[in-house]
Amino acid sequence: MPTFRAPRGTRDLLPHETPRWTRLARLADELAARYGYRRIETPMLEQAAVFERGVGEATDIVEKELFRIAPRTEESESWALRPEPTAGIVRAYVQHGMQTWPQPVKLTMIGPMFRYDRPQAGRYRQFWQFDVEAIGDPGPAVDAEIIELGSRFYADAGLGGVEVLLNSIGDPACRPAYVTGLTSYYRDRADDLPPLERDRLGRNVLRLLDSKDPAMAAVNATAPKITDHLCDACAEHLESVRAHLDALGVSYRLEPGLVRGLDYYTRTAFEFYAHGREGQQQALGGGGRYDGLVELLGGRPTPGIGFGIGLDRLILALEERHGAASVAELSSAAPVAVVVGANPDDTVTRLRIATELRGAGIAARAELGQRRLGKQLDSAAREHAHFAVILGDELANGQVGLRDLQAGTQRAVPLADLARELKRASESHHHGLA
């Protein structure tokens, strides 16, 4: 056992694993930009109250999973690591007066989130999310646009067949009566409820509907459905979201048990699932409308909608289909050229020439060990470099040897032309670094 290990529920992403992450992050960035979302970065920690209000005190995320930072001094504020991005982004929207910008303000972010959850497959204490938020648009068209964006992200990432689950959770006009009805439904069955769920009955009854406790499945199956209790405005909103999704060719399934159980979440709620995994409580991503949140964090009443797509689970799903990255994939980072030399001691010249090549934009490495030329060439071939730049006696005349390690050919090249030659040769060989 090593003395130190990464904290439970966190992982190191090793060099052969990171290319997949980079690819997804780039894809997310490009896609969001094409849809008009601009990048925002908020701190990984906020005042804890931002999450207590912005996520809700009676949620698992705040009640059980918030990573709180111990105050350093008596007067220091109470901070927490962000468990999700929306609350921090809405805090920034209010703080920077974004309500005076042209609306909606469309923002995107990719970064790590932290939840003190019980670690298991697909559930980590530090995980990554791709997030988009459209603040200042009441919908319903933008709701469909955002859902389509999420679906396209999975398809472009190579995960076909992702299912969209859709619901409406009403608004302050219709939800209170539904909540009262739902509360009495559960009260009548209080003996069948696990203790935590019973405890939440009076505080956040909607949360019981999407409880992860298997003991709740039977009780929930026959619970009253919010979609049967929507006011006209909310019912129309849902109908219109559906019509827009149909027009965009996005298929979805209505799921009346899908909730975001807080007062300031309103209307549209949705989740993305890998096909055939809907029952496993492991959504690939989710989002919804939060028309009450800006006001709750101190701004003027402003509607908003967004989603958070988990990248860890997406990568797991992709690996299930296409296989995991192996250490062998490290070869994709091979240098184009390795500078080797007949005089083992002359590391100065080797390093200087490699540095010049790098300055010219070429991925180059110098052999810095003091080994014989043969050994230097062996190591260049082993790491799948395309070319060896060989420094020998001709260096005195400004010439070096350029060996194509893959073709086995070699010719003399003036040092002054080396960078140009390497660029041309590596382009015509379609070296994998492009």
Contact residues: ligand AMP, CB under 6 A? 84, 115, 117, 122-124, 127, 129, 283-286, 308, 310, 312-313
At closest approach, how far in Å is the CB of 277 from ligand AMP? 11
Q: Which residue is nearest to ligand AMP (CB)?
A: 310
**Residues 235 and 175: beta-carbon distance below 8 Å:** no
At closest approach, how far in Å is the CB of 193 from ligand AMP? 22
In single-letter form, the type of residue at position 418 comes to L
Return d(Cα 166, Cα 286) in angstroms, integer: 10
Q: Which is nearer to ligand AMP, 129 or 399 (CB)?
A: 129
At closest approach, how far in Å is the CB of 287 from ligand AMP? 8
Q: Which is nearer to ligand AMP, 205 or 309 (CB)?
A: 309
Q: Which is nearer to ligand AMP, 248 or 316 (CB)?
A: 316
Q: Which is nearer to ligand AMP, 53 or 313 (CB)?
A: 313
At closest approach, how far in Å is the CB of 265 from ligand AMP? 11
Q: What is each CA distance from 124 to 293, 325, 368, in whole angstroms? A: 27, 19, 40
At closest approach, how far in Å is the CB of 150 from ligand AMP? 10
Residues 6+ apart with CB under 8 A from 426: 336, 362, 386, 387, 433
At closest approach, how far in Å is the CB of 317 from ligand AMP? 10
Q: Which is nearer to ligand AMP, 292 or 341 (CB)?
A: 292
At closest approach, how far in Å is the CB of 83 from ligand AMP? 8
Nearest to residue 247, comparing CAs of 145, 132, 104, 139?
Answer: 145
Q: Which is nearer to ligand AMP, 139 or 310 (CB)?
A: 310
At closest approach, how far in Å is the CB of 62 from ligand AMP? 12
Q: Which is nearer to ligand AMP, 88 or 286 (CB)?
A: 286
Provide the token pair at 253: 């399934």
At closest approach, how far in Å is the CB of 104 from ligand AMP? 21
Q: Which is nearer to ligand AMP, 129 or 168 (CB)?
A: 129
At closest approach, how far in Å is the CB of 129 from ligand AMP? 5
Return d(Cα 389, Cα 296) in angstroms, integer: 64
Q: Which is nearer to ligand AMP, 224 or 256 (CB)?
A: 256
Instruction: Give the number of C-alpha atoms closer than 13 A to the C-alpha of residue 372, restricted to the C-beta side.
Output: 2
At closest approach, how far in Å is the CB of 108 from ligand AMP? 15
Q: Which is nearer to ligand AMP, 129 or 167 (CB)?
A: 129
Q: Which is nearer to ligand AMP, 115 or 242 (CB)?
A: 115
